[in-house]
Amino acid sequence: MGKPDYKAYSPESYPLKDIDELNIVVLRTEWNDDVVGKIHKSCIKTLKDSGINKKQIHQHTVPGSFELPMGVKMILTSTVKADAIICLGCVIQGETKHDDYINHTIARSINNLNLVSGTPVIFGVLTTNTKEQALARAGGERGDKGHESAMAALKMISLKEQLSTKSKKISF
């Protein structure tokens, strides 16, 4: 597996109507700060490099990855306008199976929040066996989860904008 191609946001490929009016929330964890700090920094840099200014990026912190879904719910039910919410965290396998329970729970919960809210909620959580694997995915030779998460948010906002211009009735 080679290093991903880190392209900047492309308005030609993923047009955004009013990029100056977007509000993106970056929700990060305190746990594994050495890893999460790297993906957080990369995420913010990618957003800024893509034309999102500092005032459009709202940053919040929760204790650990398990608290990310509740943090998202709090944001979604608050007065904060969020065109996308990026969740950044890192769960590293330990001596017990706690990581399995946490990873499955937060992945399922973030997926549900995506579907119910209609707001893109990006899963930028590293789930690795070792700290070395996490660092390799935090801007090392195995990828850059922060960059990838920021790009996913921008692409999902673009998709939502493109599809909202079309009127279509669906019966369930």
Catalytic residues: 98
Whose structure tokens read 């992945």?
A: 107
**Rounded distance between C-alpha atoms, residue 54 and residue 57, angstroms:** 5
At position 40, the amino acid (one-letter code) is: H
**Residue 75 exposure: Cα atoms within 13 Å on the Cβ side:** 31
**Maximum distance among all alpha carbons in the chain?**
52
Whose structure tokens read 């070395």?
A: 132
Q: With the C-alpha atoms ordered 79, 154, 156, 111, is the resulting torsion angle positive or negative?
A: negative
CB 61 within 8 A of CB 29: yes
